[in-house]
Amino acid sequence: MVRAAVLPAVGAPLEITDIELPEPGPGQVRVRLAAAGVCHSDLSLTNGTMRLPVPAVLGHEGAGTVVAVGEDVTHVAPGDGVVLNWAPSCGNCHPCGLGEVWLCANALKGAANIHARTADGTELHPGLNVAAFAQETVVAANCVLPSPAGIPLTDAALLGCAVLTGYGAVHHSARVRAGESVVVYGIGGVGLAVLQAARIAGASKIIAVDVSPEKEDLARRAGATDYVVAHERTAKDVRGLTGGQGADVAVECVGRPATIRAAWDSTRRGGRTTVVGIGGKDQEVTFNALEIFHWGRSLTGCVYGNSDPERDLPVLAEHIRAGRFDLSMMVTERIALEGIPAAFDNMIAGKGGRALVVF
């Protein structure tokens, strides 16, 4: 039996309870977690914004040590450090054939599997495939990647979602070029990764926007040159900081219609807006036909940073080892499993960066 955070139903409170994991079967790996980040996507599962089978063990951003492997697993062995990959690509669907592995049509099929059972026999699914809010988990072999050498596993946990997403949003989706100006809406875990990635890309001005004035110091440590506390006319402030033109690039990490619209309005004529935040299907963002023509701006979605973890993790590891990307500064709170509900509350209130469950 291992301790885990279970979502019994959409809208229900998390339950911290013991679960029984099976031994790894063919093509599976059992991992003892070192740490797991508390991500907004986990919150989106609890409130129904994202819909996957429940009851489920939540958590998808994590790293740990391989305990055991099933038959046919050769790329990792017991004792190896690994990073969990919650969205493994199948390699066979149409997006994978195009090289767009972040859009794999089969990436989340594993979430429908039976992952574990509670003491009373209730069957549990693996939330977002990997069920990282647990002392140990059993995952498909393609859900684990060797952890980069020289990076503590507790830090490496962030690579599994926030860092790949934020780095990829800048380098793969927005494709920020040296000398461009960037505005980032929402300074949580992903936003902090975006700020660092924009600095690495050589952005000349990096403007952080958040509802909380308390996050300014954190944002500046991550690379922000300017900080704006969000209000009704934030876009005007951003244009004022960019010579009246607007930013070259906006990255939205909140997923709300108002912030998506503000991010769009913050960019110059011909500017680029990348939306990372996940909003609800009943939330609409509106534009008129004339402004789309006049401004010549682009608006793009961004899934998992448009990243290929096998390609991008080694690149990120080099930035981390060279001191260009700081994982530890993103963590504003280290908690136990029991602290996850409070971390969700802080997320809703716009407090802090990344909360990290440390086992």
Interval 35-60: pLDDT, tens: 999 999 999 999 888 888 999 999 99
Mean pLDDT score across all residues of the chain: 96
pLDDT in tens, 60-97: 999 999 999 999 999 999 999 999 999 999 999 999 99
Number of CB atoms found within 10 A of residue 261's CB: 16
Positive/negative CA dihedral, 201, 328, 7, 145: positive
Residue 190 pLDDT > 90: yes
CA 221 to the chain's CA centroid? 20
The answer to whether the beta carbons of residues 190 and 37 sit under 8 Å apart is: no
The answer to whether the beta carbons of residues 322 and 156 sit under 8 Å apart is: no
Instruction: Report how far residue 4's alpha carbon sits from residue 87's, in angstroms, rounded to the nearest whole number.
Output: 21
CA 93 to the chain's CA centroid? 23
Confidence of residue 155 (pLDDT cuts 50, 70, 90): very high
Average pLDDT of span 185-201: 97
- Is the omega angle on the peptide bond into residue 22 within 30 degrees of 0, that is, cis? no
Average pLDDT of span 335-344: 96
The answer to whether the beta carbons of residues 73 and 27 sit under 8 Å apart is: yes
As beta bridge partners, residue 210 has: 229
Confidence of residue 352 (pLDDT cuts 50, 70, 90): confident
Q: Which domains does the chain have, with CATH numbers?
A: 2-160+327-358 (3.90.180.10), 166-303 (3.40.50.720)
The pTM (predicted TM-score) of the whole model is: 0.96
pLDDT of the residue at 110:
94
Instruction: Report how far residue 251's alpha carbon sits from residue 183's, in angstroms, rounded to the nearest whole number.
Output: 6
Amino acid at residue number 19: I
pLDDT in tens, 234-270: 999 999 999 999 999 999 999 999 999 999 999 999 9
pLDDT of the residue at 225:
98
Count Cα neighbours of 304 within 13 Å in the Cβ-side half-sphere: 23
Residue 315 pLDDT > 90: yes
pLDDT of the residue at 50:
87
In three state form, how does the secondary structure of the chain look? CEEEEEECCCCCCCEEEEEECCCCCCCEEEEEEEEEEECHHHHHHHHCCCCCCCCEECCCEEEEEEEEECCCCCCCCCCCEEEECCCCCCCCCHHHHCCCHHHCCCCCHHHHCCCEEECCCCEEEEHHHCCCCECEEEEEHHHEEECCCCCCHHHHHHHHCHHHHHHHHHHHHCCCCCCCEEEEECCCHHHHHHHHHHHHHCCCEEEEEECCHHHHHHHHHHCCCEEEECCCCHHHHHHHHCCCCCEEEEEECCCCHHHHHHHHHCEEEEEEEEECCCCCCCCCCCCCHHHHHHHCCEEEECCHHHCCHHHHHHHHHHHHHCCCCCCHHHEEEEECHHHHHHHHHHHHCCCCCEEEEEC
pLDDT of the residue at 266:
98
Positive/negative CA dihedral, 311, 247, 257, 41: positive
Question: 140 vs 31, 160, 313, CA distance in Å?
Answer: 11, 15, 19
